Amino acid sequence: MVGLDQLPADILLYIISFCDLADVAAFATVSRALREISSTHRSLWIGALENARHVDPIACTFNEDLTAHDVPGLKTITLHTLRLRRNWARREPRIIGPIKTFTLGLPLLDVIFQVPGTELYLFHSRTRGTVEAWDIGAARQVAPPVYVAKKILDVSPGQDLPGKFSMGLLTSETPENDNNKLVIVCLEYGQDEVSIKLAMQHIFEAEMYHWAVFMSPEVVGVLRCNPGIMLDDETIDIIALNISTGRRAYIKTDIARDDFPFEGQSGTTMVDGCLSIVTEFDDDSTVYTCLKKHLPHNGNTNCPERVTLKCPPLRGGKSLPRPDERTIVPEGVLSADSFYGVPAVSLQLINEELSRDVSRQSIEIVFWTSVKRDTQTEDEMTAAGQPCFRVEAHDPVAIPGCLQDSSDSSWQLMLLPHSGRKVLLVINNNEDQPILYLVNFDYDTKTPSLHVINLPPFINLSLVHGLSLDDHRGVITLLDTRGSLFAIPFA
């Protein structure tokens, strides 16, 4: 029998192209022939890393040009990625390396986003109304601040393009959160320069209520309703704009407003050019879909400016047993880019009355995945008025306690990174200190897992008001009310 070490190099490279990243790294260690090939053939590592990043984030930017790296650089990305995977799989992932700590100062800054795979962050100052770019590795501000608004009410999933990360912001300048404006902020970066640019600013009708920002590379928009109309008569509108031309589509849906924008939670996400609206109200999880043909994409020049649309609801399922003596409070619907198949996550607070004097709380987390329909062709689905993908919920995972409250935070202490594959949240379960949880979602098995992040004593979770998670490099960032930032490495 011929062993691996006896095969020609081209045959070995062909065989190894079918292996995953972990196997490639292992074979390069145990096989003499592959060890020699792996030290000279960049294509071995480039192919393995390209395949890997279509399944999960790897330890570089999403659009990193892997061909620009030499063999040692490619090995570094590989080993970092595998080290992080092993660590994230632990019940209690370990901190690996020194924690970067420095002072952002006061007044407090809020995290708008972190560019995945980098140390670049975009912060917002509620006092100044500006967005600011910081390089945490250099511990300094790297671009002049740009004014957007004093209040940021909602943000879209980010758009990660080569050298540019963009996000849609719903803003307001008033205490009543009205007079809304939609702003697209772009953080552009290269080897020598970082800049902040506003790609779009659109002012909405003053008397309307807007929420749930959505965004794709070509389209941005919000949901809208008129708070002055009685609930029985009011439905939800979709306002969508073409990013490059400003072309607008007004879509009047048959989705009853009910109470979900106010007492429930709702969020939006884009999958394959279609818009999905996920709502949580009491014990009901529902998805509504607006097809791509109704939205002003670049190639959809015939998209009508105004249209009335029927959106049949799709009910989401949840399987955790719940006693009758409980109340459900939706905490949020978070949305992400759909590339990794998890475009949304919803969270609910469950209050259970165990007896007259005893109750308990838990947070349920539901991951929503996008699943391609394979029973019909895309043309047949479009003709039938159905999306090519469906968005469906999976069994939740429950965490004892409730979300930690922070009076200094613009948002609740829960975070969905750009990939959608994880949730980071701070939980109060009546212990001396809150607990930082990481929830991983295994896309193959469609199951979540809970992981506890233990922090050193000098980080006080009760003072934390902001979170960030880079699941490419494996860095959790915490901001506290003293103006301190902690960047915690896990690989």
**Residue range 4-17: average pLDDT?**
71
Supply the pLDDT for residue 206: 85
- Asked whether the predicted pLDDT for residue 421 surpasses 70, the reply is yes
pLDDT band at 48, cuts 50/70/90?
very high
* Token reading at 321: 């047993």
Supply the pLDDT for residue 199: 93
- Asked whether the predicted pLDDT for residue 379 surpasses 60, the reply is no
Chain segment 193-241, per-residue pLDDT in tens:
999 999 999 999 888 889 999 999 999 999 998 887 766 678 899 999 9
- Asked whether the predicted pLDDT for residue 380 surpasses 70, the reply is no
Supply the pLDDT for residue 283: 74
Buried b vs exposed e over 459-489: b needs ≥16 C-beta within 10 Å?
Answer: bebeebbbbbbbbbbbbbbbbbbeebbbbbb
Supply the pLDDT for residue 214: 97
Determine the residue type at 53: R
**Residue range 370-397: average pLDDT?**
69
**Do β-strands 447-453 and 326-335 pair in parallel, antiparallel, or remain unpaired?**
unpaired
What is the C-alpha separation between 381 and 388, in angstroms, rounded? 6
Instruction: Decide: helix, strand or coil at residue 62.
Output: coil
* Token reading at 6: 């006896």
Chain segment 336-371, per-residue pLDDT in tens:
999 999 999 999 999 988 777 778 899 999 999 988
* Token reading at 404: 């930690």
Better-predicted residue by pLDDT, 12 or 416: 416
Instruction: Tell me if 430 sits within 8 A of 396, measured CB to CB.
Output: no
Better-predicted residue by pLDDT, 1 or 198: 198
Determine the residue type at 490: F
Supply the pLDDT for residue 262: 58
- Residue in the block written with tokens 């849906």: 253
Instruction: Decide: helix, strand or coil at residue 202.
Output: strand
Residue 196: strand pairing partners = 187
* Token reading at 282: 């009491």
Q: What is the dihedral of CA 31, 37, 41, 44, to 10 degrees?
A: -30
What is the C-alpha separation between 317 and 286, in angstroms, rounded? 9
Supply the pLDDT for residue 232: 67
**Residue range 111-134: average pLDDT?**
97
Better-predicted residue by pLDDT, 417 or 352: 417
Which range, of 21-30, 123-132, 164-173, averages the lowest pLDDT? 21-30
- Would you list the DSSP string of 326-395? EEEEEEEEEE--STTS--EEEEEEEEEE-SSS-EEEEEEEEEEEEEE--SS-HHHHHHTT--SEEEEE--
* Token reading at 215: 């965004």
Average pLDDT, the chain: 89
What is the C-alpha separation between 247 and 242, in angstroms, rounded? 5
Verdict on whether the full-model pTM lies above 0.75:
yes
Which range, of 36-50, 102-116, 294-308, 429-443, averages the lowest pLDDT? 36-50
Supply the pLDDT for residue 80: 98
Which range, of 101-105, 129-133, 467-471, averages the lowest pLDDT? 101-105
E-strand ranges in 173-234 read 181-189, 194-203, 209-215, 219-225
**What percent of the chain is modeled with pLDDT above 70?**
90
List CB contacts of 145: < 8 A, sequence separation 6 or more.
Answer: 125, 128, 130, 131, 132, 196
Which range, of 82-86, 156-160, 301-305, 314-318, averages the lowest pLDDT? 314-318
Highest mean pLDDT range out of 255-269, 376-390, 414-428?
414-428
What is the C-alpha separation between 378 and 387, in angstroms, rounded? 8
Q: How many CB atoms lie within 10 A of CB 320?
A: 12
Supply the pLDDT for residue 244: 94
Q: Max Cα separation, the chain?
A: 80
Give me the domains of the chain, ranges plus CATH numbers.
4-88 (no CATH), 100-489 (2.130.10)
Q: How many CB atoms lie within 10 A of CB 265?
A: 22
- Residue in the block written with tokens 């394959």: 272
Chain segment 281-340, per-residue pLDDT in tens:
777 788 999 999 999 999 988 889 999 999 888 876 554 555 566 788 889 999 999 999
Angle (deg, nearest 10), helices 9-16 and 42-53: 10
**What percent of the chain is modeled with pLDDT above 90?**
66
